[in-house]
Amino acid sequence: MRLVLLGPPGAGKGSLAALLKDALNIAHISTGDILREEMKNKTPLGKEAQSYIDRGELVPDELATRLIEDRLKKSPQGYMLDGFPRTVTQAKDLDDILQKVNKPLDCVLCMETAPELIISRLAGRRVCRSCGALYHMKKKPPQKVGVCDVCGGEVYQRPDDNEETVRHRMEVYSKSTKPIIEYYQSKNKLMHIDGDMETIDLFDIVMKKFHEAGKHD
Ligand code: AMP
């Protein structure tokens, strides 16, 4: 199965991806996670990306595309792209890359989420710095404050999850990323799903739709 997860920040792409990855046995490739790892390791690429990410802006297309091309070449057949593409230019570049590596896309899952829900989800979101496990201060806090239940790593708030930056990221999504929906619609690849739902319910619906469409055996 070869998927793209599309949706605004806070739609729940990462949480859904964590479940789909295991159920479908495919690689989860998140450009946000890759960039955060590069920033943590203070690599030249990480340093270049940092100022864009802290301001809630997109990193340049060429940089994001380079990351994805690398991973797709190395990944097994099945994959799920989370946070890429984010512009129409990236979507077109992705088509070229997928043709080169002979791993064409099956489906684009497009999540739609109410803006006020995005703000409350992201304001409460916390992430493990080591393993990336996701928490929410109200709905799913770690058992011990600041410590990951899974690996014992540090649980922190992403600097770009503050309300002002989140509002800017939502604007960036509307302006730069939403046009991709039309792009994939014209290619008949879109599956719309309700990002307001709880992840586990959404996961069940998505798996059912895949079975009905004969996309997963
Ligand atoms: P995410 O974890 O997907 O919310 O991504 C965090 C940040 O990384 C975004 O706000 C962007 O600054 C940057 N980023 C991630 N993926 C991309 C991409 N495909 N194109 C440009 N910037 C990206």
14: nearest Cα among 1, 25, 27, 30: 30
pLDDT of residue 216: 58
5: nearest Cα among 29, 35, 24, 23: 29
d(C-alpha 175, C-alpha 5), whole Å: 18
**Residue with CA closest to ligand 1 atom 6:** 32
Would you say the CB of residue 36 lies under 6 angstroms from ligand 1? Answer: no
Question: Does residue 88 carry a pLDDT above 80?
Answer: yes
pLDDT tens-digit series, residues 46-83: 999 999 999 999 999 999 999 999 899 888 889 999 99
Would you say the CB of residue 59 lies under 6 angstroms from ligand 1? Answer: yes
Kindly give the residue spans of alpha helices, DSSP state H, lying in the chain. Answer: 13-24, 31-40, 44-54, 61-74, 88-101, 115-124, 163-172, 179-185, 199-212
**Residue with CA closest to ligand 1 atom 5:** 32
- The reported pTM is 0.91
Q: Is 55 a catalytic residue?
A: no
Per DSSP, the three-state class of 172 is: helix
d(C-alpha 198, C-alpha 203), whole Å: 9
Options 13, 36, 121, 126, the catalytic residue? 13
pLDDT tens-digit series, residues 172-214: 999 999 999 999 999 999 999 999 999 999 999 999 999 988 7
Would you say the CB of residue 84 lies under 6 angstroms from ligand 1? Answer: yes
pLDDT tens-digit series, residues 124-157: 999 999 998 999 999 999 999 999 999 999 999 9
Q: Are strands 79-82 and 2-6 parallel, antiparallel or unpaired?
A: parallel
